[in-house]
Amino acid sequence: MSEKIKRGKISDRCLILSKEKLYSAGVSPILSTPVKQGVLFPVVGSVSSHAGGSDNVSQIEGASMEGCNADVSENFGVAGNLSEEVRFGDVYKIKLQWSGEAYAGCFFQLLTRNEYLRRPISLCGMGDGYVELAIRVAGSGTQELVSRQVGDYIECFGPLGRGFEIPECGLLSNQIQNDLYASDDVERNSENLKKKRYLVIGGGIGVAPLHPLVKELKNKTVKSAYKKHREEINGEQVLEQAAQIMNQNAHVVDVVLGYRDTPYLEDIADYVCVEDKNVDISGYQNASHSNVMPVLEKLLNENHYDDIYVCGPKKMLDAVALACMDSGYNPQLLTEAYFGCGVGACLVCTCEVNYTQKYARVCADGPMFRAKELYIEGAENKSLGRLIKEREEKKRADKQIVVLNSKQVNLAKNTTMADNIDLSNEMDNSLSVNLGGLELKSLLTTASGTFGFGREYNEFFDIGILGGISVKGLKLDETPGNPGRRIAEIQSGMINSVGLQNPGVEAFLRTEVDFIKSKNVAVIANINGGSVRDMVAMAERVNEAVDAVELNISCPNVSAGGMSFGTDPKMVKEVVSAVRQKVTKPLIVKLTPNVTDIGLIAEVCESEGADVLSMINTVTGLAVDPITGKTPLARAFGGMSGAAVKPVALRCINAVRSRVQIPILGMGGIGSARDVLEFLRCGATAVAIGTEIFRNPLLPVEIDRELRAFLQASGISNISEIKPLVD
């Protein structure tokens, strides 16, 4: 049963209505035999996008989003039960039953049966009661998805992301209609209906999300708009005269599609470009053996365009963007990245914007960006930049009008999925706990770095059901985070190297605290610093505004050569003692598991005045591509999280519980009510949900209900009655 959520988003099990193979890759350069049941499936990331550019490019998985999470974890997997041969690079179109909204340029998150993270797949078609998705086989996750048959289900949520901007081209205002119909001077009035011209450019799998775009651009012409009105008002000669003029003024959409070899989904193309000269192109319209650039340059020289839309591999996007900017345009680019949560909370899918080395979230601020919003190498003198902050401030308005493909959707304040969920029987105190002096209405909190500041997930459920939110890790000043790729998927988890991208303490206090408090949720400020002085300054600054301070001692101490505070008992003593003197609210100290004796670190924290221990932080990990020998993360190592770390977390909590008296906020791989109970049995008082929410955005709601049902069935009045094993 689907649950409707904000902005028309839906989380649902979607029935597969049809499946069509669009492109057969033949024998892959890596996979020399077809994938069959039990056959090893080796893949080096995403190899070729079959795109208009000449280089192999790693993309997001699916339509324009191919290979996003198809990297290290998809290098070796075992194929499921297949009724057909599936090769690396094959492209399928799957039609899903869908009752929600969809818009050109959006994407959907699909849950696979064999990989940890969801696969982001772009929309390639939509209609009454269905959406169509084009999926390129880039690894074992997408291979599993396309192996499903008609009548099977796929767990899907969306639509997500910032789609293409489509103007109100040709939807006649009432005033124009009235003026036109009331006057015999059709010629004069038709000047209100100006002809427009658009250019659409796609490469490889990137042609798929252009299909709904082209359809909508062509449907929103004065010709089609007039046809609708003409059917409603018959018998007047003036309307027939207007029809002729509008036919002449119908908007023009030039579509250029590029492919490495055999074209597919080319039915919308006015120009087809194929790089492989061995491919017969005689049956295609305006076909040439080239990439898209020669055709693009010709069209830019011959025509003026009101807007330009581009989707394809990164090298093609950059080349097209530079050519368009040289001609004075600011095209819309549907970009690519490696996704984590898919809603903008985790900050792993970033791209560099063209001002002061800052990063935007591809899944939320994009995937559509104007070329001048991005940093494109070689475009320094062509781009003025458009601050992402302006868009963020606009999004954060209590009441806003969002234009989704020319359709206005009124987003009233607090209109969320939770409005459709009856919580009347769930507001008892059975999940309330006291966490070191911090009264929480629920033991369920969120782990820092996975939930942003709560705004993103408030679009999926009422975050007021939570006990507290540990916000994105903060520093004194705004921090851009790490450049390059920030995420690698592993079996049952992921490794991240975000680099503490955050807006800084002052921006947090100014823009985020009141929002969280308005939800009646405890605000836990997670602070990080490169020195004891920084830690103390931050703690003192946030103390009055928040409900608790979480001191992250996993960050490096710059004055000690970059050694983590939390690995040396002497440094732990110094920083906890100093912060304790400035904090009057409950002080939570977050422990790293990357130590020899975590119990000793916990004892030092308690002796220096910590009220609560939160544990565990991420486990240091490394992912390696066995074929290339390269690490996917730009900084090689990162923090491992997800279900894979749960046994480590349980061991650490159980070991610490017997050595300290202060309560523990447990975290690490919590994905169900059963997991929560395991943490409680090992010694936790409350828990924090982290990376698992990337797989299921409604996870806190489900765990809340499952726990309440468990307590009721067990005759337990409050969750705190569940005692740890060590007791």
The residue from 143, 160, 177 where one domain ends is 160
Q: What is the pLDDT of residue 144?
A: 94
Whole-angstrom distance, CA of residue 460 vs CA of residue 283 = 47
Which residues, at least 6 apart from 449, have a Cβ–Cβ distance to it below 8 Å?
346, 347, 472, 473, 496, 498, 526, 690
Inter-residue contact 79 to 86 (CB < 8 Å): yes
Which residues, at least 6 apart from 182, have a Cβ–Cβ distance to it below 8 Å?
none
Whole-angstrom distance, CA of residue 69 vs CA of residue 110 = 11
For residue 70, being part of any structural domain is answered with: yes
The residue from 130, 160, 190 where one domain ends is 160
pLDDT band at 242 (very low <50, low <70, confident <90, very high): low
Which residues, at least 6 apart from 444, have a Cβ–Cβ distance to it below 8 Å?
431, 465, 466, 467, 676, 686, 687, 689, 700, 703, 704, 707
For residue 203, being part of any structural domain is answered with: no
Query: pTM for the complete prediction?
Result: 0.77
pLDDT band at 386 (very low <50, low <70, confident <90, very high): very low
Q: What is the pLDDT of residue 336?
A: 87
Helices (H) then strands (E): counts for the chain? 17, 34
Question: What's the average model confidence in pLDDT over 677-687?
Answer: 97
Which residues, at least 6 apart from 258, have a Cβ–Cβ distance to it below 8 Å?
51, 52, 53, 201, 202, 203, 204, 273, 274, 275, 291, 292, 312, 316
For residue 316, being part of any structural domain is answered with: no
How does DSSP classify residue 688? Answer: E
Dig out the tokens for 171 from the structure: 């939807």
Quick check: 56 pLDDT over 60? no
For residue 474, being part of any structural domain is answered with: yes
Torsion of CA 285, 286, 290, 295, to 10 degrees: -130
pLDDT in tens, 472-521: 999 999 999 998 899 999 988 999 999 899 999 999 999 999 999 999 99
Whole-angstrom distance, CA of residue 151 vs CA of residue 159 = 22
pLDDT band at 359 (very low <50, low <70, confident <90, very high): confident
Active-site residue flag, 555 = yes
Quick check: 390 pLDDT over 60? no
Q: What is the pLDDT of residue 351?
A: 86
Whole-angstrom distance, CA of residue 184 vs CA of residue 190 = 11
Q: Give the SS3 label for residue 214.
A: helix
DSSP 405-442: TTEEEEE-TT--GGGGS--TTS-SSTT-EEETTEEESS
pLDDT in tens, 507-561: 999 999 999 999 999 999 999 998 999 999 999 999 999 999 999 998 754 455 4
Question: What's the average model confidence in pLDDT over 274-287?
Answer: 91
Q: Which residues of 64-74 are buried (b: 16+ CB within 10 A; e: fewer)?
A: bbbbbbbbbbb
Backbone angles phi, psi at 281, to 5 degrees: -110, 15
For residue 382, being part of any structural domain is answered with: no
Give, for 637, the enclosing helix (H) or strand (E).
Answer: strand 637-641
Q: Which of 580, 575, 585 is nearest to 610 (CA)?
A: 580
Which residue type does 193 have?
L
pLDDT band at 406 (very low <50, low <70, confident <90, very high): very low
Q: What is the pLDDT of residue 241?
A: 57
Q: Is the dihedral of CA 345, 506, 586, 468 positive or negative?
A: negative
Inter-residue contact 129 to 99 (CB < 8 Å): yes
Question: What's the average model confidence in pLDDT over 67-76?
Answer: 37
Quick check: 208 pLDDT over 90? yes
For residue 531, being part of any structural domain is answered with: yes
| Unique residue bearing structure tokens 């996979």 | 31
Find which of 70-79, 422-431, 522-531 is predicted with most confidence, using mean pLDDT: 522-531
Whole-angstrom distance, CA of residue 537 vs CA of residue 549 = 12
Q: Which residue has the higher pLDDT, 173 or 659?
A: 659
Q: Tell me the CATH number at 678.
A: 3.20.20.70
pLDDT in tens, 131-164: 999 999 988 899 999 999 999 999 998 999 999 9
Dig out the tokens for 164 from the structure: 């293409």
Q: Which of 570, 572, 568, 581 is nearest to 552 (CA)?
A: 572
Dig out the tokens for 237 from the structure: 């000669």
Give, for 288, the enclosing helix (H) or strand (E).
Answer: strand 287-288
Whole-angstrom distance, CA of residue 216 vs CA of residue 104 = 8
Q: Which residue has the higher pLDDT, 165 or 250?
A: 165
Whole-angstrom distance, CA of residue 375 vs CA of residue 556 = 29
Give the range among 155-159, 510-514, 562-566, 594-598 with minimum mean pLDDT. 562-566
Q: Which of 375, 197, 201 is nearest to 293 (CA)?
A: 201
Q: What is the pLDDT of residue 265?
A: 94
Whole-angstrom distance, CA of residue 105 vs CA of residue 102 = 9
Q: Which residue has the higher pLDDT, 250 or 274?
A: 274
Q: Which residue has the higher pLDDT, 505 or 407?
A: 505
Quick check: 255 pLDDT over 90? yes
Whole-angstrom distance, CA of residue 590 vs CA of residue 528 = 11
Q: Which residue has the higher pLDDT, 250 or 492?
A: 492
Range of the domain at 147: 3-160
Question: What's the average model confidence in pLDDT over 274-300?
Answer: 93
Query: What does the mean pLDDT of the chain come to?
Result: 80
3-class SS string, 113-142: CCCCCCEEEEEEEEECCEEEEEEECCCHHH
pLDDT band at 316 (very low <50, low <70, confident <90, very high): very high
Q: Which residue has the higher pLDDT, 674 or 412?
A: 674
Question: What's the average model confidence in pLDDT over 81-104?
Answer: 83
Peptide bond into 294 cis (omega under 30): no
Q: Which of 583, 654, 572 is nearest to 607 (CA)?
A: 572
Which residue type does 642 have?
G
167 HSE (CA, 13 A, CB side): 14
Q: Tell me the CATH number at 141.
A: 2.40.30.10
Dig out the tokens for 473 from the structure: 């890790």
Q: What is the pLDDT of residue 383?
A: 40
Dig out the tokens for 69 from the structure: 């999470």
Whole-angstrom distance, CA of residue 563 vs CA of residue 71 = 31
Q: What percentage of the chain exceeds 90 in pLDDT?
A: 62
Whole-angstrom distance, CA of residue 553 vs CA of residue 551 = 6
The residue from 160, 176, 202 where one domain ends is 160
- Provide the domain count of the chain: 2
For residue 424, being part of any structural domain is answered with: no
CA separation (Å) from 361 to 62, 161, 344?
Answer: 19, 10, 6
Inter-residue contact 693 to 649 (CB < 8 Å): no
Q: Give the SS3 label for residue 393.
A: helix
Catalytic residue from among 324, 341, 346, 555: 555
For residue 404, being part of any structural domain is answered with: no
